[in-house]
């Protein structure tokens, strides 16, 4: 059994960065990480951007490898790992891979989140924006007030075969040359 670390070249700390995993066949497992859709999306994205695998240790058995993985990943959400080490990876039905960060509001937040929010608030106090005190030109103000239309108005068209009147691409898709009421004529050679 091998304990491996998937990382970028700039990563230096396996305890906080990258992905720690366990496998008896690391090259096959690397291929699974980069090809399968049920894979951790952060890890798959990192592999597509050039992350590579390094073997940290070859262990004598699975128990030792899982203990070492748990040593590197004692908690959930460290580096690119979703769950803590020392166990089997979650299946797609057990874990929602799309929601890797839990966004809590108000009193539901953890103490760490509350202190981070307070620190950010302290850092931002007293700062002014680069636009503060500037006024928009009259021309710019009028342009902002003018209603915007994404698309030009569509013209109505009438199908010559069934007399259907409509707008947009569906008329081209189902009428004119593609109309089911179009009478096909056989032309003879020479006429």
DSSP string for residues in 40-92: -HHHHHHHHTT-EEEEEEE-SSHHHHHHHHHHH--SSSSTT-SS-SSSPPPPT
Strand partners, 19: 6
Q: What is the DSSP letter of 185?
A: -
Q: Considering only CA atoms, which of 24, 19, 22, 16 is closest in space to residue 7?
A: 19
The per-residue pLDDT string of the chain (191 residues; one tens digit each, 9 = 90 and over) reads: 899 999 999 999 999 899 999 999 988 888 888 776 566 788 888 888 889 999 999 999 989 999 999 999 998 888 888 888 887 665 555 555 455 455 667 777 888 888 988 998 888 888 877 777 788 888 888 887 777 666 667 788 898 888 899 988 888 888 888 888 877 544 434 44
């Amino acid at each position: 059994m091998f304990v491996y670390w998937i990382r970028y070249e700039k990563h230096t700390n396996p305890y906080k960065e990258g992905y720690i995993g366990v496998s008896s066949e690391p090259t096959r497992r690397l291929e699974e990480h980069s090809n399968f859709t049920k894979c951790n999306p952060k890890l798959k994205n990192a592999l597509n951007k050039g992350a590579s695998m390094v073997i940290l240790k070859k262990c004598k058995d699975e128990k030792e490898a899982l203990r070492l993985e748990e040593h590197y990943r004692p908690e959930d959400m460290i580096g690119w790992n979703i769950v803590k080490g020392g166990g089997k990876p979650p299946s797609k039905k057990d874990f929602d891979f799309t929601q890797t960060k839990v966004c809590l509001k108000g009193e539901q937040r953890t103490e760490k989140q509350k202190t981070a929010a307070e620190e950010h608030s302290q850092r931002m106090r007293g700062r002014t924006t680069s636009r503060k005190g500037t006024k928009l030109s009259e021309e710019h103000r009028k342009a902002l007030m003018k209603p915007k239309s994404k698309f030009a108005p569509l013209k109505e068209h009438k199908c010559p075969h069934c007399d259907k009147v409509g707008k947009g691409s569906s008329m081209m898709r189902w009428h004119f040359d593609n109309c089911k009421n179009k009478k096909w004529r056989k032309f003879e050679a020479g006429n």
